[in-house]
Amino acid sequence: MLLTLPDNIIPAGQFTEEELLTELAVALYAAGKISFGQARRLAGMDWFSFRSLLSERNVPANYDEKDLEKDLEAIKTFPLS
């Protein structure tokens, strides 16, 4: 996807492409529009770096009871050693 931003919206030199992608990733994740994995890939960050960034910005994890139930069911499928 190619996204073109008018110069009067984001003046040249105000943000790097990486900074804009990070801002977009954080905003979309905070709004619940994309998953954590999608957001961290959009931002070009590893799991821990993106989680840290969200924490610094007080963006809560998008994790609810339904997610917990899925995780608990997945754990039951792990072999015990």
pLDDT, tens digit, for every residue of 2-37? 888 787 887 777 888 899 999 999 999 999 999 999
User: What residue numbers bound the domain in which 36 lies?
Assistant: 17-76
Whether residue 39 lies inside any domain: the answer is yes
Whether residue 21 lies inside any domain: the answer is yes
Please state the rounded mean pLDDT for residues 53-60.
Answer: 97
Whether residue 12 lies inside any domain: the answer is no
* Between 51 and 11, residue with greater pLDDT: 51
Q: How many separate domains does the chain show?
A: 1
- Amino acid letter, residue 48: F
Whether residue 33 lies inside any domain: the answer is yes
Position 46 pLDDT exceeds 80 = yes
* Residues 29, 39 contacting (CB under 8 angstroms): yes
Contacts 24+ apart (CB under 8 A), 74-80: none
